[in-house]
Chain A
Amino acid sequence: MAKDMSYEALNARKNEIMKAAMQISYEDFELAGIGFNYEKMMDEVGYSIEEMRKMQLENAVGNTPLLEMRNLTALARKYAPAGKGARILVKDEACNASGSFKARRAAIAVQQAKKLGYKGVIAATSGNYGAAVAAQAAMNGLKCIVVQECYDNDKIGQPEILEKQRICEAYGAEVVQLTVGPELFTTFLGLLEETGYFNASLYTPFGIAGVETLGYELAEQCRQRYGKDPDVVVCTNAGGGNLTGTARGLIKADATKTQVVGASIDLKGLHMASNGDFNKKSCTTGHTGFAIPFVTWPDRSDCPRNAARTLRYMDRYVIVKQGEVFYITQALAVLEGYERGPAGNTSLTAAFVLAQEMNEDEIIIVQETEYTGAGKHTMPQLTFAKQNGVDVLFGDPDNEIPGKTLVFPEDPGMIKAREYDLSKAKKSYIHNCVKNYDMATASEEDINYIMDEIKESREFVLAELKGAGITI
């Protein structure tokens, strides 16, 4: 008898479909209470740095250049107090096969799929990860399907996403495109079951471990050239894998004093599943609409346990505006001669501001760039914004209203890195634990797990749990 492929039936089979599509025994890492053993999962399912570097280099990934942004540094120093203005470096991840750091994750995922004997891989993504998986699958002779949330109800799509469709097809992948909505996940489950392909999720232990080489490499390169570790590394933050993997790589390279800063674009007020809001966004990744839910509850991904857990690693989190990122993208092109992004330049925008707080002899590293092309460029993005009724103007970026205005700073001195209160995010994480696990009591193991999850003291965790009426 044919299987019931209805929406409800597919969701009911979620666990068995996922198990067959990944062969990871997530239950082996579960603890008695709410937690799981994260480090054990990363150790047993991931690979060593040496193994990953080898796999990546064999597949045209890694060893990307670390570039010094001389003119952007000089510009930042114009606005910094005397003696301030750290050296800004950029890791040019656009040099990876497929044009972004996502190749690091895809390389490991595709090798894993190959090792386990799968005939193909599937990824649910509207971002650079699709191109990364498609390219790696092509190199390794595997079939590939990319599932994209692409269009609004009138079949109008963001130029950036349309380019990502094109590039996936260019690498020989099948692209399944959908209108806006979280039900994409169910279509994805159906395809996994229909094809028996591997789930090349962004959030598996090996997917995240693949990014560790990025943090490791940049620490090595910085030491070689400047004789010291970077003082700050800024990571654009969305689903959390970029930041988590990079921070873990820094720790593995013993760069334990390096501060890890997350940066996201403010898209407050735009609903991520709204048909009407879908094309009002002028960026499709690295924004708060995606990032904040993942920061405060990582286990919302397409894996039973998400290996990207930013609150374990983030020292600071800052928010920038769309107009500021477009401004800095233009600065990168006309002052440095690098046409990159725009989406990957979220962390560069933050670094431009953070550098002004730091000493001149300090180093701040922006750990990624992404390729630019038709659609993925400031011109088509701004054209699209205007077509969708967004007013593009010069003024104070603080006044930007996502979906209504895109405000370029009148002067680069107006660009800000707005502090996101991490203790608020940590409290929100604890409340999500209480809600999602229907907690009434908390064991010693639960408390220790939460302390690790949010890098906080026992007092902090206990106060929040007690406030939520939990018996300790």
Chain B
Amino acid sequence: MISAKKGDWVQVENIVLPAGHRAPQVPEDTQKCDLKMWVKGEALQDAKEDEELEVKTTTGRIVKGRLVEVNSRYVHDYGEFQPELLKIEHQLKEILFGGEK
């Protein structure tokens, strides 16, 4: 269970359009999902996870939403090693430098 103190850098979540009220051109599987929005900002009140609070974003906007993260981590990285890429490397070097094809 996370919680935020006033002044913490947090991420809030909002529902822009609920499932069933999506744009008509949206395919069936997406129609069943809410259109959700996430924004980061400075907490203007203390809050616990899932509680609603206001945040001040980096451009100075005030946005209300449900607390989902505090000091959000960037989760992307360089991934798992992919042996297929090594196979390609060896193949290319063999073709180009390892004698006649």
Q: B66-83 toward A: CB 8 Å interface, digit per residue (1/0)?
A: 000000001111111110
B92 touches A273 (CB 8 A): no
Which of these, A187, A275, A377, contacts B79 with CB under 8 Å? A377
Q: A344-388 toward B: CB 8 Å interface, digit per residue (1/0)?
A: 000000000000000000000000000000110111111110100
- 23 CB contacts below 8 A, A to B, read A7-B16, A145-B59, A151-B36, A151-B38, A165-B74, A174-B41, A174-B57, A176-B37, A176-B39, A179-B35, A179-B36, A182-B23, A183-B22, A195-B61, A273-B25, A274-B29, A275-B33, A331-B92, A334-B92, A377-B79, A378-B82, A379-B79, A411-B91
Q: Is A412 an interface residue (CB 8 A)?
A: yes
Q: B28-57 toward A: CB 8 Å interface, digit per residue (1/0)?
A: 011011111111110000000000000001
Q: Is A13 an interface residue (CB 8 A)?
A: no
Q: How large is the interface on A (under 10, 10 to 19, 20 to 34, 35 or more residues)?
A: 35 or more
Give chain A's interface residues, CB within 8 Å of chain B. 7, 71, 74-75, 78, 120, 143-145, 150-151, 153, 155, 159, 162-163, 165-166, 169, 172-183, 187, 194-195, 271, 273-276, 327, 330-331, 334-335, 374-375, 377-384, 386, 392, 394, 408, 411-412
Q: How far is the CB of B93 from chain A (nearest CB, A)?
A: 7
Q: A78-B101, A151-B36 are in contact. Are A380 and B78 (CB under 8 A)?
A: yes
Q: How many residues of B contact A (CB 8 A)?
A: 44
Which of these, A143, A276, A330, contacts B85 with CB under 8 Å? A330
Number of A-B pairs, beta carbon distance below 8 Å: 149
Which of these, A162, A374, A412, contacts B92 with CB under 8 Å? A412
User: Which residue from chain A places its CB closest to the CB of B36 in the assembled complex?
Assistant: A179
User: Which residue from chain B places its CB closest to the CB of A172 in the assembled complex?
Assistant: B58
A177 touches B37 (CB 8 A): yes
User: Which residue from chain A places its CB closest to the CB of B33 in the assembled complex?
Assistant: A153
Which of these, A144, A173, A274, contacts B30 with CB under 8 Å? A274
Interface-centre pick from B80, B84, B89 (highest chain A CB count, 10 A): B84
